[in-house]
Amino acid sequence: MKNLSQTKASAAAVRAARAAGRLILANWHRPKRVNVAEAHDIKLELDVRCQKLITRILRGAFPQIALLGEEGCAGNVNSGYRWVVDPIDGTVNYFTGLPHAAVSIALQVHSPQSTVHSHETVLGVIYGPFTDELWTAVRGGQTRLNGKTVHVSNCSKLEDAIISMGFSKSQGNLEKSLPHLVRLARRARKIRIMGSAALELAYVASGRLDAYLERTINLWDIAAGGLMVECAGGEFHTRPAAGGKFRMCADNGRLRKKLQLDSLLK
């Protein structure tokens, strides 16, 4: 990363992720204040508070770098560098008492070759506060879990694969996604629908899942985890979808053709 200290950026992202994780745990058994309750989603006041904490730490260390987050932006997000933040990925899980949520932070640099809003992720941090697991990755390096290198699985047979899927609730996307669910449910060992894209991608990078796919997803859900899959030896593919969202598939590099993932991206 030219003109930017990789070590300093990684340390700031880790510090911010852990700070937000502590705040998430501190409020786990407390009443949750809902800011917005949508048909298929929930936004908590704690989401906003966590992002403000992350923003304060990241912008304090790098005031010149913009921040694009689920709960708002700071600075010019089309500039050379930007942070991409999901303060609580898995808010509905968290709200309903399911301990499966994470903090996701990515650092991106402008890249005309990138398919992701002309920016490429160069650093990623995902922190799972309920398990105290910290995934880190820097482009060109390895993915690490609590400091130890992790790799994608060696699974090459669809009947042995454990696959995670996510679903947009629009009629059009359900009509296109459900045939894949039916086909894979009959052929794969197990299908999982877990509710935290960041953790699902970290699990693919760690060999816990063999693949993860979703037709409509936000940038902040996948920016850090996609890099982790690649740095762990897997494949991560996105294509733009309507409304600034993405179609996404990630696997261990051995299953894409068998999964027919290209058809999911259409």
Residues contacting residue 216 through CB under 8 Å, at least 6 positions apart: 168, 170, 173, 241, 242, 245, 246, 247
Please tell me the predicted confidence (pLDDT) of residue 141.
97
> Do 212 and 240 belong together in one domain?
yes
| Average predicted confidence (pLDDT) for the chain | 91
Please tell me the predicted confidence (pLDDT) of residue 241.
85
Domain boundary at 93, 115, 149, which?
A: 149
> Do 254 and 232 belong together in one domain?
yes
Domain boundary at 122, 149, 176, which?
A: 149
Is pLDDT at 2 greater than 60 in this prediction?
A: no
Percent of the chain with pLDDT over 70: 95
Please tell me the predicted confidence (pLDDT) of residue 89.
97
Domain boundary at 121, 149, 177, which?
A: 149
Distance of CA 261 to the CA centre of its chain: 18
Please tell me the predicted confidence (pLDDT) of residue 244.
86
Q: Domain for residue 192, yes or no?
A: yes
- Condensed to tens digits (0 to 9), the pLDDT of residues 29-88 reads 999 999 888 766 788 999 999 999 999 999 999 999 999 999 999 999 988 999 999 999
Cβ count within 10 A of residue 119: 25
CATH code, domain carrying 63: 3.30.540.10
Please tell me the predicted confidence (pLDDT) of residue 113.
67
**What is the residue type of 26?**
A
> Do 50 and 70 belong together in one domain?
yes
Domain that holds residue 60: 6-149
- Condensed to tens digits (0 to 9), the pLDDT of residues 79-126 reads 899 999 999 999 999 999 999 999 999 999 988 765 555 799 999 999
- Condensed to tens digits (0 to 9), the pLDDT of residues 214-245 reads 988 999 999 999 999 999 999 999 998 888 89
More confident residue, 197 or 38: 197
Please tell me the predicted confidence (pLDDT) of residue 260.
76
> Do 10 and 117 belong together in one domain?
yes
Show the tokens assigned to 24.
Answer: 């998430």
Q: CA dist 163 to 171, 187, 196, 213, 250, Å?
A: 23, 11, 14, 8, 10
Domain count of the fold of the chain:
2
**Of 32, 57, 55, 27, which is closest to residue 45 (Cα–Cα)?**
32
What value does the mean pLDDT take over residues 122-145? Answer: 98
Show the tokens assigned to 252.
Answer: 């261990």
Residues contacting residue 130 through CB under 8 Å, at least 6 positions apart: 25, 99, 100, 101
CATH code, domain carrying 197: 3.40.190.80
Residue 74, judged by CB atoms within 10 A of its CB (0-12, 13-18, 19+), counts as buried
